[in-house]
Amino acid sequence: MFKTKRNIYMLYVYIFFAQLFFDRALWVIYLGDKGLTFGEIGLIEAFLHLAIVLFEVPTGMVADLYGRKISLLIGNVFSLLYGLFMLISGSFSMFTLAFLSMGVMITFHSGAEQAFAYDTLKKEGREKDYTKVFGNMTALALLSLSLAKFLGGFMAEVSWEWVYGSTIFTHVLALIPLFFLKEPPREKTEDIGGRWYHQWVHQFKSGMKVWKDNSVIHTPVVLFILASAVMVIVVFYGQEYFIQLGYSSVVVGAVFTVEGLLGVLMAKVAYKVEKRFEFFNILYYGLGLFFVFFVLFIFASDWAVLLSFLFLAQLLSLFEPIFSSFVQNLLNSKVRSTFFSLIGLVESFVIMVSFALFGFVVERTGFTSGFAGLLIVFILVAGGYLTIQKLIRK
């Protein structure tokens, strides 16, 4: 029991330090100060998502084949490379390397933290506590990122070297709790012989087999990916949208700070919601509320826009730990990271394509029309999928 607690607590410490990116609210400004155009900045962001698409599944298989701890260690090395490249960069090519490093870092972390926590709890027969633990992990990540955004602004007033030097320092500190983690036992992937890539192909097929054999997860996964992609667009473009609506940068900053802090609260109470309501009731009622607040976000006026944005964001913060727990309960240890990496692969691809298309539309039609179009696409895809699934079941 002590080792289980130590593992979880060390994982909490690691997550807190690993999320201290002091440039998260400033990197666009920094790249602009370095002479990059908005077109180049958009292209660099696309490279980040391309790295995720290319490496998401292979790095997930690393976590399942060789250990979650190894995956987290490698991911943290790429965090250090990101901070270093951003600190010394002065050209488009070097900034591209920085964002590619960030993308690869995300893929090594994706699924590994969740799988590590679940298998640690499973060793003690405490799987029922996973939603609470994952909620704590999410809350810590959001709290850490909010703190980083707040402190980053003050650091940038001194110098950009402070911003990226501090990022490097905190990610060196993040290595310390990793060395105290004890790899939890997990089912080993069977050795099929042959060269190493034969094992990787087998691992990929094992992940796909999970999807094929568990039709119950299809609808939650599809809706989660769609809602996540929508929220990435809303959060990123929402900053400029609020400015165009007449809100000051101070108000916008305060709204996003509140959004992050509310996310901490939602993640903390997710396990209580999970205990009280059946999973698919949470899914479908949540989808209905997501639609309502999305409509208000587009067409409401004054402070109702900001409030609807806050409610919209919290729905996903509340649902993610519950969704993760639902899927984890259907997996065995040898494919946990692989399967969540497959989800991350599709999610990143959808974000990469929709993010660019939304920017193209907004430049020509404006934010209101752009968000309305995004809402229509969301309704058509989500509604169409649910209708098809209903017809198949009949």
Chunked mean pLDDT (size 10), the chain, 394 residues: 74 93 80 79 80 80 80 93 91 91 89 84 85 88 84 84 94 93 69 51 72 88 92 80 77 78 88 92 94 93 88 91 89 76 82 79 84 93 89 75
- Asked, for residue 185, whether it belongs to a domain, the answer is no
Classified as helix, coil or strand, 70 is: helix
DSSP 277: S
Q: Are 72 and 176 in contact (CB under 8 A)?
A: no
- Using alpha carbons, select from 176, 12, 177, 171 the residue that is nearest to residue 79: 171
Provide the whole-model pTM.
0.76
Q: Where do the DSSP E strands lie in 19-90?
A: none
CB-CB contact of 259 with 149 (8 Å): no
Helices (H) and strands (E) in the chain, counts: 16, 0
pLDDT score for 199:
54
> Which residue from 123, 117, 257 is spatially nearest to 185, judged by alpha carbons?
123
Distance CA(351)–CA(13), nearest Å, equals 29
Q: Please state, in angstroms and rounded to a whole number, the distance separating the CA atoms of residues 212 and 210.
A: 5
Name the residue range of residue 231's domain.
10-179+202-393
CA distance 218 to 326: 12
The answer to the question of residue 190 being in a domain is no
How many domains does the chain divide into?
Answer: 1
Q: What is the CATH number of the domain that holds 367?
A: 1.20.1250.20
Q: Is residue 192 part of a domain?
A: no
Q: What pLDDT, on a 0 to 100 scale, did the predictor assign at position 192?
A: 45
pLDDT of residue 250: 67
Please check whether residue 40 lies inside any domain of the structure.
Answer: yes
What's the burial of 163, exposed, middle or buried (CB within 10 Å: 0-12/13-18/19+)? buried
DSSP 200-240: HHHHHHHHHHHHHH-GGGHHHHHHHHHHHHHHHHHHHHHHH
Question: Does residue 196 sit within a domain?
Answer: no
- b/e map 285-307, b = 16+ CB within 10 Å: ebbeebbebbebbbeeeeeebbe
Contact 58, 104 (CB under 8 A): no
**Helix-strand-coil split of the chain, %, nearest 5:** 85, 0, 15
52 domain-assigned: yes
> Is residue 184, in this structure, part of any structural domain at all?
no
Gap between the Cα atoms of 75 and 296, Å rounded: 39
The confidence score (pLDDT) of residue 249 equals 63
Q: Is 270 exposed, middle or buried (0-12, 13-18, 19+ CB in 10 A)?
A: buried
Please report whether residue 3 resides in a domain. Answer: no
